[in-house]
Amino acid sequence: MSIALSVALDTARLDRVLELALAEGRLVGAEALLSVRGRVAYHRAAGWSDREAGLPMRPNSLFRLASLSKLYTSAAVIRLAAQGALRLDAAVSDYLPDFTPRLADGSQPLITLRQLLTHTAGLGYGFLEPAGGGAYRAAGVSDGLDHTELSLEENLRRLAAQTLWQRPGQGWIYSLATDVLGGVLQAATGLPLPEVIRREVSAPLGLADTAFHAVDTARLGAAYAETDSGPQRMGASHLLALLPELAGIAFAPERALDKQAYPSGGAGMVGTAADFLTLLEALRGERDDWLPKDWREEMLREQIAGIDMEGWPGWGHSLGGAILRDPVAAGLPASRGSWRWLGAYGHSWLVDPARGISFVVCTNTAVEGSMGAFSQEWLHAVYAALDLDRRAA
């Protein structure tokens, strides 16, 4: 159902975009939440959680968060930095002495936590390697979405043995950097990563449904992937190529049920859209007691001036996701300084501090819900729906 709470909003416009994507078979199921000036203005669960079993998507469903996990891990890093337990410009090797990857010339450049947070550390992802095979896949490095027997420590050891893709600080490459931050968090606290996330983020914000596995398996639906004939249910493993020339993303939906799977800080968490919206709102400015204002501002300011993000025209990067530099270049109605990211299982989120907007849409359809037309349609619909609110203000 849709809910409008004390905010003038054209919810019918949002309903139409969601229902069209479902009717056209581009999405199987979705849950959308939109907050405006601190109030939930829209909440809708629609479509199927498990199409084959005839189970509808319901509010408070659990989703495989994929790269939405990154914001939880990054927030934990900033929390510990605010407490003096971490230094953002310290070398990663100060915390993980064995994490000293080399460049092609054999040199070992310094990598900082700040570079990990901004994906400028020179690391990469296996799914971005060439389709014919690359060093990460050959070495068995996990991207955090497959089902593997590796421990986090072993995965980072294998990653550190690979040649850096470029010199740290030279450019932006989407990467396993947040998984390395998970290792840093463990080393700095002496605690397993799930406990660090619980202590620093989930518990103080009251996020009871967020963990590195499904806390209630009955609320975790099926996962689907795009094919030429429409979304098809993923099996135990599923390889989805974003482009023909790339190796592709190795999904393993059952990983979310395995409490023993290593905790991937960049892709391994499970949670609800409502929990994630709570995190967004806390970062937007609703929880000074959780993270001081100066640290929130540091986390969410532009960090890579002069560096372009390939595939993201008009965007830069903060310590917590992409940050909008130029709305015209990006082709979006969002305000300059908005921040955003996506999740490969089919999710997208955005915060527009200037308008007081936070939204998250979690779907079970990779990758239409994140990188397909739907995520752009939804974002444009949010701003069109809010035009009513702007006129009334």
Amino acid at position 308, single letter: D
The C-alpha angle with vertex 181 and arms to 178 and 184, in degrees rounded to 5, equals 165
Return the half-sphere exposure (C-beta side, CA atoms, 13 A cut-off) of residue 236: 3
- Which positions are catalytic? 67
Q: How far apart are CA 364 and CA 52, in angstroms?
A: 13
Helix, strand or coil, per DSSP, at residue 187: helix
How far is residue 309 CA from its own chain's centroid? 16
* Bridge partner list, 239: 250
Amino acid at position 170, single letter: Q
Q: Please report the beta strands in 136-231, taking only residues with DSSP state E, as ranges in sequence order.
A: 224-225
> What are residue 23's phi and psi, to 5 degrees?
-65, -35
Residues 6+ apart with CB under 8 A from 369: 27, 30, 345, 346, 347, 348, 361, 362, 363, 375
